[in-house]
């Protein structure tokens, strides 16, 4: 994925700073288990240290993520947050283990984490019990859209896509933009969280992303395997299908019963046969029914 090119072995004109030190950054993926929503947290290893992208949902995964970092025997240079859902920031404290490094998010992501963290804890904490951290670390530095940050020999640029799967999604592009950490802008081979009810905005963001991220050759997604390029188109098809299934079942209603929501789940499980996290569909179906009802009033 970031193999040695001619630049990396020091022949020809150096294309990027990594080549001067003879090492391209290496992306290490920590994938949580099913209880942890199969969420991916990433460690990007440069010559001088490591940058984390997100941190897992559950304490045991947060500790394992820290152990993965320690095994690299390089300093943690910073943490970048993709979006304000707990499966992407909940165990930043465990990753830091007392170290003080920049924890960086787009200002909208930072604001949303601070605004909703208590509500998320109240909603999800009891379900996960001891696996929910007692406290969380919020970002200590914010960036604007298209702002770059340099951490050791690694450079990332934040691209703000606004409300999509969450209230605010940031794609972090590494160095020359061939590698992107897209958070939950796209899932890959799993069902999607729909409960924030922004599927219309999400589809428009995918349209923008296909242009803006045209130079990306590896998409590191929040859930599922990294992908070479079809994830955005696949996510569009999934969202269009979900909206169609929900519209059909809702028939104009802004709220679905449990039975109607599970009918939507069945339709989507048929669409994405064998994919995990199907329960996310039922959990988000009513929010999308409300969104579709609002759209119908607006047009």
- Residues contributing to the site for Zn ion (CB under 5 A): 87, 184, 222
Q: Which residue has the tokens 């949902």?
A: 57
Residue in this structure with the two tokens 């943490």, named with its chain if needed: 79
Tell me how far, at minimum, the Cβ of 192 lies from Zn ion, in Å. Answer: 9
Per DSSP, helices labelled H in 166-278 are 199-212, 231-250, 258-271
Question: What contacts 259, CB < 8 A, 6 or more positions away?
Answer: none
User: Least CB distance from residue 147 to Zn ion, whole Å?
Assistant: 23
Tokens read off for 133: 């951290």
**Considering the complex, what minimum distance in angstroms separates the CB of residue 254 from Zn ion?**
26
Least distance from Zn ion to the Cβ atom of residue 94, Å: 17
Nearer to Zn ion, 87 or 167 (CB): 87
Output 57 or 77, the one with its CB closest to Zn ion.
57
Q: Which is nearer to Zn ion, 25 or 222 (CB)?
A: 222
Residues 102, 149, 112, 117, CA torsion sign:
negative
Nearer to Zn ion, 87 or 169 (CB): 87
- When the beta carbons of 25 and 62 are compared against Zn ion, the nearer one is 62
In this structure, are residues 172 and 157 in contact, taking their beta carbons and an 8 Å threshold? yes
* Closest CB 95 distance from Zn ion, rounded Å: 16
Q: CB–CB of 99/86 below 8 Å?
A: no
């Amino acid at each position: 994925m970031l193999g040695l090119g001619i630049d990396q072995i020091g022949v020809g004109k150096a294309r990027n700073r990594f080549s001067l030190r003879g090492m391209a950054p290496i992306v290490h993926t920590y994938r949580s288990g099913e209880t942890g929503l199969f969420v991916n947290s990433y460690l990007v290893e440069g010559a001088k240290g490591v940058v984390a992208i997100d941190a897992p949902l559950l304490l045991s995964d947060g500790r394992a993520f820290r152990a993965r970092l320690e095994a690299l025997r390089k300093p943690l240079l910073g943490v970048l947050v993709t979006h304000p859902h707990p499966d992407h920031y909940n165990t930043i404290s465990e990753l830091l283990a007392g170290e003080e490094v920049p924890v960086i998010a787009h200002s909208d992501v930072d604001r949303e984490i601070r605004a909703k963290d208590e509500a998320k804890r109240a909603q999800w904490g009891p379900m996960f019990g001891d696996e929910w951290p007692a406290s969380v670390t919020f970002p200590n530095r914010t960036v604007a859209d298209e702002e770059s940050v340099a951490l050791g020999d690694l450079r990332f640029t934040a691209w703000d896509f606004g409300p999509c799967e969450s209230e605010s999604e940031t794609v972090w592009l590494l160095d020359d933009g061939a590698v992107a950490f897209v958070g939950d802008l796209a899932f890959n081979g799993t069902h999607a969280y729909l409960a924030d009810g922004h599927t219309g905005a999400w589809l428009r963001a995918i349209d923008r992303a296909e242009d803006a991220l045209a130079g990306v050759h590896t998409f590191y997604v929040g859930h599922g395997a990294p992908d070479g390029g079809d994830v955005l188109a696949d996510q569009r098809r999934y969202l269009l299908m979900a909206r169609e299934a929900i519209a059909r079942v809702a028939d104009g209603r802004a709220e679905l019963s449990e039975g109607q929501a599970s009918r939507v789940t069945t339709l989507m499980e048929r669409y994405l046969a064998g994919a995990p996290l199907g329960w996310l569909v039922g959990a988000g179906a009513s929010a999308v029914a409300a969104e579709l009802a609002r759209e119908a009033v607006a047009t």
